[in-house]
Amino acid sequence: MPIINVKLLEGRSDEQLKDLVSEVTHAVEKTTGADKNAIHVVIEEMNAAHYGVAGVRKSDQ
């Protein structure tokens, strides 16, 4: 049972998140041979104030 965890900054539409789940599921099914019904995708959206790169929060850019 593959479990895929996707972390990204919040702000995508519901349609984009729906497509992401579908495409990730398809890629895992194709590359691993896992049954589609056994593939779990978890999306964790992060607030830009809670994520930083090179010492700067994304919300401050």
Question: Residue 49: CB partners within 8 Å, gap ≥ 6?
Answer: 57, 58, 59
CATH number at residue 20: 3.30.429.10
| Active site residues per annotation | 2
pTM of the predicted model, to two decimals? 0.88
Q: Domain tally for the chain?
A: 1
The pLDDT tens digits of the residues spanning 13-61 come to 999 999 999 999 999 999 999 999 999 999 999 999 999 999 999 999 9
- Domain containing 37: what range? 3-57
The first and second tokens of residue 57, run together, are 């929060």
